Chain A
Amino acid sequence: MQPNEWLFIGIFFVVALVIPTVPIVLAQLLNPKRPSKMKQEAYECGVETVGDAWVQFKVQYYLYALIFLIFDIEMLFLFPWAVAYNQLGLFALVAMAGFVGILGVALIYAWRKGALEWL
């Protein structure tokens, strides 16, 4: 399309960033500032914090992230095809059905491997 639409998007982003910044800055000017050591501790049920927050976490999160990546990238290829759908012939439909089928097989594989279980 015309370049001025992207100009609008650019300006809109700047405006969108400024709008939430204004009340935060305003609050900085208005609010009281009485910091103390206790107040700045990390909040954790009232007892003193043990260690920092960089704890070990479940590997499950990585697995979900990996499956998501596979799906996300492949789905992106669906969109140009979907736009051209009304002009496509049978071959393109079958090809894309194969493509979606591969996605389905990937999902079944992950499922059978237990990657979708929340442990």
Chain B
Amino acid sequence: MAEFLINSGWNPNLAQIVASTLGAVVLASFGLVWVIFSIWLERKFAGRVQDRIGPNRTGPYGLFQTFADIGKLLTKEDITPKGADKHVYNFAPILAVAGIIAIFAVIPFNHAWVGADLNVGVLYFVAVGSLATLAILLAGWSSNNKYALLGAFRAIAALISYEVPMILSLAVPVLLAGSMSMQDIVKGQSIAYVFVVPVSALIFFVSQLAEVGRSPFDLIEAESEIIAGFNIEYSGMKFAMFYAGEFIHAFVICILTAVLFLGGWRGLGAGEPGYELFGFLMLMAKSVAVYAFVMLLRNTLPRIRIDHMMAFNWKFLVPLALVNLLVVTFLARPFVPDYAAAEALVAEGGLAGLVGTIFGAGFIAELPRAVVLLVANVILFIVATQLLHRYGEAQRSKLGVQAVPPMRATAMASD
């Protein structure tokens, strides 16, 4: 793009800025367009889970429902509560969306389509992602409402806590790929990291879920306890911005999980030069698969209590992430993939040559490390869940509570 403008006689600096601006607008609107679709998707999905049809009146399959909602929200009166800190109050919903959209800048959609392949990409998205947390605090603090303030406190306590296991588990893919650039992490995944370090992937996914404030971690906006939490005083389009921000965030965590642990745009030969669009679709398919899982969790799990949420983080996830990091540290070093040697091995032919031609030379290079780490991770996972189970049993016997038997389909029978 920039080269094209320079070739047609533009000032190189100006061309760079124009090209960057266009790219930024396209990339950022992608997030917004997606949110319009994902709200429909989520409502439809929730409807199906709850044995309803979901929106089906406006347009084919209710596809225009979100547009109708936008129209409604545009005509709603905007109320600023008495005693609110006006500037902060107005800025919070903007920051809530902007902080999330800004993450899109470092996401590699395929080997060529990436906004800015920063060499500190992982740190960038952690830093920018916490802007949304800041927006929640700003909203709660400036609303001059006790419920909003309580909601904001809860949100901050929960979100900063879950940032700890998230960053600890993020260190593992960085360590395996030897780079903080998102693009390099994708390129290092000849074997997707979810098959190499499943414990890290799980910790990352759970803590990101808590960051978004999705069920089962949705006590940031627990209707039954603190009405709506931090956004209670917001109405009309400002409320809609918080809502949109949450939906974009929910999808962004799915993209990040796909990029960091599911191999991003790679797979089935996608992302090779000439298959750019296929790579993009591959990433989207992976992200939507994760998103479907998030929606399923949201619609089927009850909300957990705040003390349980904090205890689960500090007493389970953080120690587990620390131990996992130590395990990976000591086991991965002797098996650093030697891509050149693997290429030579494939060229020699035989069994390695056959496997290499099917899965690529990178697969062979990363195989020993993947096997060792996978075994270690599975053992770690079993030990951790056993410890958790024992702890639960001990707590229950201390309280004299019988273990709850699994739910039977008695309700179905009585229908």
The reply to whether chain A is a binding partner of chain B is yes
Assess the B94–A20 pair: CB atoms within 8 A. Answer: yes
Which of B41-49, B250-258, B328-336, B378-386 contacts the other chain? B328-336
Find chain B residues with CB under 8 A from A64 CB. 157, 160-161, 310
**Residue B285 is within 8 A (CB to CB) of chain A in the complex:** no
**Residue B262 is within 8 A (CB to CB) of chain A in the complex:** no
**Residue A47 is within 8 A (CB to CB) of chain B in the complex:** no
Find chain B residues with CB under 8 A from A55 CB. 146, 149
**Residue B290 is within 8 A (CB to CB) of chain A in the complex:** no
- Expressed in whole angstroms, the minimum distance between the Cβ of A91 and any Cβ of chain B is 12
**Residue B203 is within 8 A (CB to CB) of chain A in the complex:** no
- Expressed in whole angstroms, the minimum distance between the Cβ of A37 and any Cβ of chain B is 8
User: Contacting B153 at CB < 8 Å: which of A7, A24, A30, A61?
Assistant: A61
User: Contacting A31 at CB < 8 Å: which of B29, B78, B83?
Assistant: B78
Which applies to chain A's interface (DSSP): helix, strand, loop or mixed? helix
Most chain B CB within a 10 A radius of its CB, from A7, A49, A82: A82
**A30-B75, A100-B325 known; A118 vs B310 contact (CB < 8 Å):** yes
Assess the A31–B236 pair: CB atoms within 8 A. Answer: yes
Assess the A68–B93 pair: CB atoms within 8 A. Answer: no
Assess the A52–B175 pair: CB atoms within 8 A. Answer: no
Assess the B329–A96 pair: CB atoms within 8 A. Answer: yes
Find chain B residues with CB under 8 A from A32 CB. 75, 77
How far is A1 from B184 in the complex, measured between Cα atoms in Å? 13
- Expressed in whole angstroms, the minimum distance between the Cβ of B244 and any Cβ of chain A is 8
Assess the B180–A83 pair: CB atoms within 8 A. Answer: yes
- Expressed in whole angstroms, the minimum distance between the Cβ of A108 and any Cβ of chain B is 9
**A7-B16, A13-B98, A96-B329 known; A53 vs B146 contact (CB < 8 Å):** yes
Q: What residue of chain A has the Cβ atom nearest to residue B179's Cβ?
A: A83
User: Contacting B98 at CB < 8 Å: which of A20, A31, A44, A86?
Assistant: A20
User: Contacting A27 at CB < 8 Å: which of B76, B115, B118, B244?
Assistant: B76
Q: What residue of chain B has the Cβ atom nearest to residue A29's Cβ?
A: B74
Assess the B24–A12 pair: CB atoms within 8 A. Answer: yes
How far is A86 from B175 in the complex, measured between Cα atoms in Å? 8
Give residues 56-97 of B contacting A (CB, 8 Å).
Answer: 70, 73-83, 90, 93-97
Assess the B117–A1 pair: CB atoms within 8 A. Answer: yes
Give residues 64-114 of A contacting B (CB, 8 Å).
Answer: 64-65, 67-68, 71-72, 75-76, 78-79, 82-88, 90, 93, 96-97, 100-101, 103-104, 107, 110-111
Assess the A9–B118 pair: CB atoms within 8 A. Answer: yes
Assess the B102–A8 pair: CB atoms within 8 A. Answer: no
Assess the B333–A88 pair: CB atoms within 8 A. Answer: yes
Find chain A residues with CB under 8 A from B105 CB. 8-9, 12
**What is the number of residues of chain A that contact chain B, defined by CB distance less than 8 Å?**
72
How far is A93 from B115 in the complex, measured between Cα atoms in Å? 34
Give residues 277-329 of B contacting A (CB, 8 Å).
Answer: 306-307, 310-311, 314-315, 318-319, 322, 325-326, 329
Q: What residue of chain B has the Cβ atom nearest to residue A111's Cβ?
A: B315
Q: What residue of chain A has the Cβ atom nearest to residue B318's Cβ?
A: A107
**A7-B17, A23-B241 known; A42 vs B145 contact (CB < 8 Å):** yes
Q: What residue of chain A has the Cβ atom nearest to residue B28's Cβ?
A: A15
**Residue B168 is within 8 A (CB to CB) of chain A in the complex:** yes
User: Contacting A21 at CB < 8 Å: which of B20, B94, B146, B149?
Assistant: B94
Chain A positions 4 through 34: 1 when the CB is less than 8 Å from some CB of chain B, otherwise 0: 1111110111111101110110111011111
How far is A97 from B397 in the complex, measured between Cα atoms in Å? 37
Query: What are 17 pairs between A and B in contact, CB < 8 Å?
Result: A7-B20, A15-B21, A15-B24, A23-B240, A23-B241, A26-B74, A27-B73, A27-B78, A30-B74, A40-B81, A53-B143, A65-B156, A71-B318, A72-B167, A100-B326, A101-B326, A103-B322
By a beta-carbon cutoff of 8 Å, the part of chain B in contact with chain A is 16-17, 20-21, 23-25, 27-29, 32, 70, 73-83, 90, 93-99, 101-102, 104-105, 115-119, 122-124, 143-150, 153, 156-157, 160-161, 163-164, 167-168, 171-172, 174-175, 178-180, 227, 232-233, 236-238, 240-241, 244-245, 306-307, 310-311, 314-315, 318-319, 322, 325-326, 329-330, 332-333, 336
Other CB < 8 Å A-B pairs besides A20-B245, A116-B311, 11 of them? A15-B25, A30-B74, A44-B147, A61-B153, A71-B164, A79-B174, A85-B333, A86-B178, A93-B330, A96-B329, A118-B306
Q: Which 5 A-B pairs have the closest CB atoms?
A: A118-B307, A27-B237, A20-B97, A82-B175, A5-B116
